[in-house]
């Protein structure tokens, strides 16, 4: 039996026709009809509502950013008629200059951060050196397996487009079937390996893989503490987000979670929009459906359910979750705004919210800063207007604009658009000439200079965003020859602007993320893992593990103290090769220096 839930209410309206047997964590009664569940759900919804109300103020601005990242504009009624009559005629478009700017910024970040190993470590003491190298190898293997570079790229994109990007690291296990070889035959069963009479392959349920994964958090779905700036989320009381799921996925989590998830079977009757959260404004607020033309999803035959993850720093005694009188970090999961399906203390060694954020253009105070693309949004709108107004004027001008005396000509002949037409005079006008029957209006193109003006707008966009020609890979045009020093100086100045943003992101997100991944691995890793010796520590590893191309790493091998080697965000451009050559020559020519430097 299942609950009958009123999706129009929040935290109430539960009418049960039965119940399921669950063993709840810490002996807390979290049955959906219990008083504890109702009280806890009310406190969660209060925090969710406050954050959602604050973040929704930014949605309209983000939607305008979504529209600038495509060349498509929804047609109005007039342009629909134009395309219907002749689909070859141009209509209003978005000049994808913001898209080109975003691609340039992301290209720099990808080159600065996404080369393996993405996260680098060093031992805090000499005896931790080898363990830190093995830890770095394990994290690199996890990063490749989980495709963390893709999640990081999405986070950087959100940071440039919306002002901030968020990513949540989590430890997970992948379950499946593994084929193993077992002894077969009568004597094998009795004597084992001492008398092997055959073998057979058997598929067994097993943990196929365990490790760190990264979950991207949609800015439209993010629910941070509105009282702290986005770069200091660890100082807030809560951080959450909305995630779209479905009944089958949640049921699988409940089965595999060993009690971390519960109450999922109470959601079995959800269909259509009944499982959607009232705080999920992404579809209504974002321009993504408009951009991609996805329309309304068909969900009457499936069971989509919105779930809200919320990390909260709370006092268990005040929340009736225990006797503790000091803050603890807990994770809650609320499905469809009605049912709590997870509630547990995090218990992570790093004692942080497992979330990292980046905001390249943060101001130090805002929970949702202005993004780089939002900064140039007005220029992008002006650029679109200049080009589209010119298109409209040209489209109007190439059509004949005539003044006609209908008493002198057959108007139906004049309306025929085919070339080589024959226009007949009316009988009353025969023999009077045709000079005064039809007159072409003189058309002046007042938008002729718009294309030249758009060049000034694009230069302003480049200047404001930092995506100048040298960074985009475009050579400066002009009558004078570009010298090597000019090209090098321009390029280095442009890259220094981007490296500043990269250093900020490294401090905001990459350091915290690297620390969390390492801490999760040390705390939660249970299986041994083989890693390659090749890479930046190959010489060190081969001196410790002779004649081994792959090394087996156990959880005990990486139980060391470590430091994070943060990326500085600069690129090895090779621009200072001449200086390095001169330094090398000086070292070689002086015996005292040659003994000190390699």
pLDDT tens readout for residues 116-150: 999 999 999 989 999 999 999 999 999 999 999 99
Q: What pLDDT does residue 43 have?
A: 95
Mean pLDDT (whole number) for 513-531: 94
Integer Cα distance of 159 and 142 in angstroms: 24
Percent of residues, the chain, with pLDDT higher than 90: 41
Lowest-pLDDT range of 73-82, 131-140, 385-394? 73-82
Give the pLDDT confidence of 481-502 residue by residue, as tens digits. 655 555 555 556 567 778 889 9
Q: Pairing between strand 14-16 and 562-565?
A: unpaired
Q: Is the peptide bond before 322 cis (omega within 30 degrees of 0)?
A: no
Pair of tokens at residue 454:
């758009």
Q: Residue 321: CB partners within 8 Å, gap ≥ 6?
A: 26, 28, 40, 314, 330, 343
Does residue 293 register a pLDDT over 70? Answer: no
The winner for highest mean pLDDT among 62-66, 72-76, 201-205 is 62-66
Lowest-pLDDT range of 25-29, 104-108, 131-135, 179-183? 179-183
Q: What pLDDT does residue 75 have?
A: 79
Pair of tokens at residue 541:
């590893």
Torsion angles phi and psi, residue 236, rounded to 5: -80, 170
Mean pLDDT (whole number) for 341-370: 94
Torsion angles phi and psi, residue 563, rounded to 5: -120, 150
Average pLDDT, the chain: 82
Torsion angles phi and psi, residue 308, rounded to 5: -115, 115
Pair of tokens at residue 52:
């959602």
Cβ(443)–Cβ(401) below 8 Å: yes
Rounded to whole angstroms, the maximal C-alpha distance in the chain is 122
Percent of residues, the chain, with pLDDT higher than 70: 82
Q: What pLDDT does residue 2 have?
A: 39
Integer Cα distance of 272 and 246 in angstroms: 11
Q: What pLDDT does residue 13 have?
A: 45
Torsion angles phi and psi, residue 581, rounded to 5: -65, -45
- pLDDT-derived band at 87 (thresholds 50, 70, 90) equals confident
| R_g of the chain, CA atoms, integer Å | 33
pTM: 0.83
């Amino acid at each position: 039996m299942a609950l009958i839930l009123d999706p129009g209410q929040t935290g109430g309206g539960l009418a049960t026709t039965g119940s399921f047997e669950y063993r709840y964590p810490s002996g807390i009664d979290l049955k959906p009809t219990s008083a504890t569940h109702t009280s806890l759900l009310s406190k969660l919804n209060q925090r969710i509502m406050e954050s959602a109300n604050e973040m929704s103020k930014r949605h309209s601005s983000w939607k305008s950013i979504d529209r600038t990242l495509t060349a498509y504009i929804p047609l109005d009624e007039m342009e629909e008629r134009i395309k219907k009559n002749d689909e070859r005629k141009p209509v209003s478009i978005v000049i994808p200059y913001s898209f080109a700017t975003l691609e340039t910024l992301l290209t720099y970040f990808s080159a600065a951060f996404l080369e393996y190993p993405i996260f680098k470590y060093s031992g805090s003491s000499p005896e931790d050196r080898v363990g830190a190298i093995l830890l770095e190898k394990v994290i690199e293997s996890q990063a490749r397996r989980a495709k963390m570079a893709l999640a990081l790229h999405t986070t950087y994109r959100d940071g440039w487009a919306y002002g901030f990007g968020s990513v949540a690291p989590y430890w997970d296990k992948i379950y499946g079937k593994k084929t193993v070889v077992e002894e077969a035959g009568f004597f094998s069963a009795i004597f084992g390996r001492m008398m092997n009479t055959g073998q057979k392959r058997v598929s067994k349920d097993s943990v196929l893989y365990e490790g760190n994964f990264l979950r991207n958090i949609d800015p439209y779905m993010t629910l941070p503490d509105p009282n702290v700036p986005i770069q200091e989320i660890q100082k807030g009381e809560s951080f959450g987000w909305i995630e779209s799921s479905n009944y089958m996925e949640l049921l699988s989590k409940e089965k595999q979670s060993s009690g971390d998830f519960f109450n999922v079977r109470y959601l079995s009757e959800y269909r259509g929009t009944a499982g959607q959260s009232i705080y999920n404004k992404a579809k209504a607020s974002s321009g993504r459906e408009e951009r991609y033309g996805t329309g309304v999803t068909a969900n009457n035959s499936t069971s989509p359910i919105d779930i809200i993850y919320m990390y909260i720093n709370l006092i268990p005694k005040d929340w009736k979750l225990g006797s503790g009188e000091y803050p603890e970090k807990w994770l809650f999961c609320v499905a469809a705004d009605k049912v709590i399906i997870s509630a547990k203390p995090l218990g992570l060694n790093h004692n942080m919210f497992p979330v990292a954020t980046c905001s390249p253009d943060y101001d130090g105070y805002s929970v949702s800063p202005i993004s780089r693309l939002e900064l140039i949004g007005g220029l992008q709108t002006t650029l679109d207007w200049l080009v589209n107004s010119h298109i409209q004027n040209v489209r109007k001008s190439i059509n004949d604009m005539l003044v006609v005396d209908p008493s002198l000509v057959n108007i139906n002949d004049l309306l025929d658009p085919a070339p080589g037409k024959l226009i007949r005079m009316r009988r009353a006008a025969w023999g009077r000439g045709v000079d005064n029957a039809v007159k072409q209006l003189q058309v002046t193109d007042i938008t002729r200079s718009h294309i030249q003006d758009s060049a000034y707008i694009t230069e302003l966009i480049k200047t404001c965003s930092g995506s100048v020609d040298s960074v985009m890979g475009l050579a400066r045009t002009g009558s004078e020859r570009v010298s090597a020093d000019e090209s090098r100086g321009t390029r280095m100045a442009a890259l220094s602007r981007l490296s500043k943003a990269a250093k900020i992101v490294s401090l905001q997100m990459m350091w915290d993320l690297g620390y969390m991944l390492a801490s999760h691995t040390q705390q939660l890793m249970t299986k041994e893992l083989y890693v390659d010796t090749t890479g930046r520590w190959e010489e060190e590893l081969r001196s410790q593990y002779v004649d081994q191309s792959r090394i087996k790493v156990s959880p005990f091998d990486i139980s060391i103290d470590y430091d994070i080697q943060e990326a500085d965000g600069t690129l090895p451009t090779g621009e200072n090769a001449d200086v390095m050559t001169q330094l090398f020559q000086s070292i070689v020519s002086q015996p005292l220096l040659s003994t000190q430097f390699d």
